[in-house]
Amino acid sequence: MQVRLTGDETMKSLFYRLWKDEEGAEIAEWVVVVALLVAVALVIYTNVLQNSLSTAVSSIGSKIESAAK
Residue 35's nearest CA partner among 43, 21, 47, 2 is 43
The answer on pLDDT for 36 being more than 90 is: yes
Q: Which residue has the higher pLDDT, 60 or 9?
A: 60
Average per-residue pLDDT for the chain: 80
Residue 28's nearest CA partner among 14, 40, 46 is 14
The answer on pLDDT for 22 being more than 60 is: yes
